[in-house]
Amino acid sequence: MTIDGRMTELARSFVAGTFPDAHGVVLAGSIAAGNDTATSDLDLLLIGPGVMFETGRTSLAAMYEHAGRLVEVFAYTPDAFRAWAAREVAHHRPVILTMITEGAVLRSSPELTTLRQWAAHTLASGPAIDKHSLDLRRYLVSSVLDDLSDATDAGERALLLANAFSSLAELVLLADGCWLGSGKWLVRRLRQWDDARAQSLIETLVSGDAVSFVRQADELLAPMGGRLQAGMTR
C-alpha cells in the first residue's frame, strides 16, 4: 500500500503533541489503505501506559482536529485493548483488531508487536456463532422478506429493502465464517466474501428492485434450509 507522506508526518506530529507517552502508534483506515479522500479522517490506534489518560481511565475513543484535519483516536493500555477487542469479537465486528493488523505502524514497541500477533491469530480464527443464533438471524431475515414482498408504500419498501440487505449480508457472512462490519464496512466485508454476489445484491439495493432482491435472498437461504418461520423458538 502507498501512504501519503504528508499524512504520516501529520499523524506523527499529532501524537508527539497530544499523546507523547504512546508506546505504539498505528495509522489505520482509508489513509493507511491508500484510498483516502480530501476529507478522510486520520484514524490512529495508540497503545501505551496509563499516564496517557486522565486518572482512572485505561482507554479513550475521541475525535480531535489537527492542522485542519480530523483525527479519530482509539487509545488503550495493552490490557484495555484486549478487553475491548474481546467485546468486539463477541459481537463479530472486530474494528480495533482490524486497525492494529492492517494499519501502518508509525511507532513500534514490544507491547504493540505482541498485540498485533494476538490480533492476527484472533482474526484468522474467524467469528464463533452457534446454530441457534444463526437460526434466529435466518428467522429475522425470513420475516423481513415477507414484509418486503407485501409492501406497497414506497417509503416502507425502501426501508425494508435496506433492512433486509443488512440482515441478509450479516447472515451469509457469519454462516460462512466471515467477520461483520458496520456501515460501509458491511459492504466491504460482503465484497471480500463474494464480489460477484455482493455486486448483484448491491445493484438491487441501489435500484430499489425488491423482487430481484427477494429472489436472490431465497437463493442464498436455500443451502441453509430456506426461510425459517414456523417452528422457530426464540
Sign of the C-alpha dihedral computed for residues 17, 22, 28 and 34 taken in this order: positive
Residue 115: which CATH number? 3.30.460.10
**Which among 132, 130, 134, 138 has a CA at the least distance from the CA of 222?**
138
Give me the number of domains the chain comprises.
2
Sign of the C-alpha dihedral computed for residues 79, 83, 89 and 95 taken in this order: negative
Q: Are residues 109 and 135 in the same domain?
A: no
Q: Are residues 109 and 20 in the same domain?
A: yes
Last residue of a domain, one of 125, 152, 175: 125
Residues 101-122 as b or e (16 or more Cβ within 10 Å = b): bbbbbbbebebbeebbebbeeb
For each of the chain's 234 residues, which pLDDT tens digit applies?
A: 456 678 889 999 999 999 999 999 999 987 776 666 666 789 999 999 999 998 889 999 999 999 988 999 999 999 999 999 999 999 999 999 999 999 999 999 999 999 999 999 999 999 999 999 999 999 999 999 999 999 999 999 999 999 999 999 999 999 999 999 999 899 999 999 999 999 999 999 999 999 999 999 999 999 999 999 888 788
Q: Are residues 146 and 97 in the same domain?
A: no
What residue type is 85 in one-letter code?
Answer: A
Using CA atoms, how far residue 51 sits from 31, 57, 65, 76, in Å, is: 28, 9, 22, 11
**Beta strand residue intervals within the chain, DSSP E:** 24-28, 42-47, 59-66, 69-76, 104-107
pLDDT for the residue numbered 93 = 96
pLDDT for the residue numbered 103 = 94
DSSP one-letter string for 87-142: HHHHTT--HHHHHHHHSEEEE--HHHHHHHHHHHHHHHH-----HHHHHHHHHHHH
Q: Are residues 16 and 118 in the same domain?
A: yes
Q: Are 29 and 40 in contact (CB under 8 A)?
A: yes
In sequence order, the 6+-apart residues with CB closer than 8 A to the CB of 123 are 94, 97, 98, 101, 179
Q: Are residues 13 and 49 in the same domain?
A: yes
Summary count for the chain: helices (H), strands (E): 10, 5
Enter the pTM of the model: 0.88
Q: Which domain holds residue 211?
A: 131-224
Q: Are residues 70 and 140 in the same domain?
A: no
Return d(Cα 202, Cα 213) in angstroms, integer: 9
Cα radius of gyration rounded to whole Å, the chain:
21
pLDDT for the residue numbered 2 = 56
Q: Are residues 79 and 38 in the same domain?
A: yes
pLDDT for the residue numbered 39 = 67
